[in-house]
Amino acid sequence: MNKLRTLLQEAVFTRGSNKYMSRSGKYYKYDTDGKGRKEIDREEYLSALKGKTSTGPVKHKTQPIEPKPWNKERVGYSIQDRDTSTLEEVLMEDTYKFNFKHRGYDDEKTAIETNVKRARNLVDRGEFGIRVPEEILGSILNDGRFKSQFETGSSRGYLNPSVRSDFEHDYMGVPQDIEDRKRPIYGMLLDKREFPPLRGRHYGPVVITLKRENLEDRTTITFGDSLDRRAYLLPSEVTDIKPYSIERLLDSKNDDPYHDDISYNYIELQYHGGVSVEDIKEITFRRKPDPFIIDQLESLGIPWSYIRRV
């Protein structure tokens, strides 16, 4: 089934002073107090769903990320501090030297350039995000920031602080004696064409979209889980993606790595230097959140919506 059609079957969300709802193939707009219902056309509904105020067809826009110097002053370390030159060579050789012909490329140089270009295009049209369980959102809002497994003692991924510490040191240059609150926070790239996202659901149903402009100069990326696939991937700066951050070649006939036969589970982003509630752009729920969560969000001025089937 078309994902957009599934999304539109039944959804309720707010935009500005209006509430929008779709039901049984019809679309409605209300005042935020729930009064004054007005039936609207599909295009106006989609415009509101995508966060726009104008009516008419929704057009996809990219947000090109320009190369920026790494914000070492904020982060306290740099991925350039790691010693991975040998690993970089091995990954490049394994991925490109032996596989480019199988994927339809004429030469290794073209394969590398094309893959990096496609990776950058995907980042340009995506959003920075994090998925979390509903039960921990209140704590995040209360604490004013996101915490890693080193502080919480829990994880929806692999819980092993010792292994994680060694990995972050070797692969991202994170000092092993760094304060726990300064360790990387893990998230993912959200594909705006597939929203609510279907990928990374095991991390939680609450989709938190972050402000890219706050994080671009201190975010690294891997096309896949950085820890699980550490034998095949090495993080690079999101503003300067390297070919060793892409595990396998993309099909030369397919412009979209998400729809290639590689079938990435998700594209992981690693946020360095902390992520605070001030970095939150908006939050999407799979159902209407509890009243106390709504109060917290409104007091912090964080936009939110809920769309069923997240």
Decide if 288 is inside a domain. Answer: yes
Least confident piece of the model among 4-8, 47-51, 81-85? 4-8
Q: Are residues 214 and 159 in the same domain?
A: yes
Decide if 70 is inside a domain. Answer: no
Chain segment 93-127, per-residue pLDDT in tens: 666 665 666 667 777 788 788 888 888 888 988 89
Residue 219 Cα distances to 51, 142, 195, 227, angstroms: 25, 24, 22, 16
Give how many domains the chain has, as a whole number: 2
Residue 44 has pLDDT above 70, yes or no: yes
Decide if 152 is inside a domain. Answer: yes
Of the pLDDT bands very low, low, confident and very high (cuts 50, 70, 90), residue 198 is low
Chain segment 134-145, per-residue pLDDT in tens: 999 999 999 999
Decide if 67 is inside a domain. Answer: no
pLDDT of residue 194: 66
Mean of the pLDDT values across residues 198-227? Answer: 90
**Could you list the residue range(s) of the whole structural domain that residue 44 is in?**
3-49
Decide if 256 is inside a domain. Answer: yes
Decide if 231 is inside a domain. Answer: yes
Q: Are residues 193 and 245 in the same domain?
A: yes
Contacts for 76-81: CB closer than 8 Å, 24+ residues apart: 76/175, 76/178, 76/182, 76/273, 77/173, 77/174, 77/175, 77/178, 77/272, 78/173, 79/172, 79/173, 79/220, 79/235, 79/236, 79/237, 80/173, 81/173
pLDDT of residue 248: 67
Q: Are residues 101 and 23 in the same domain?
A: no
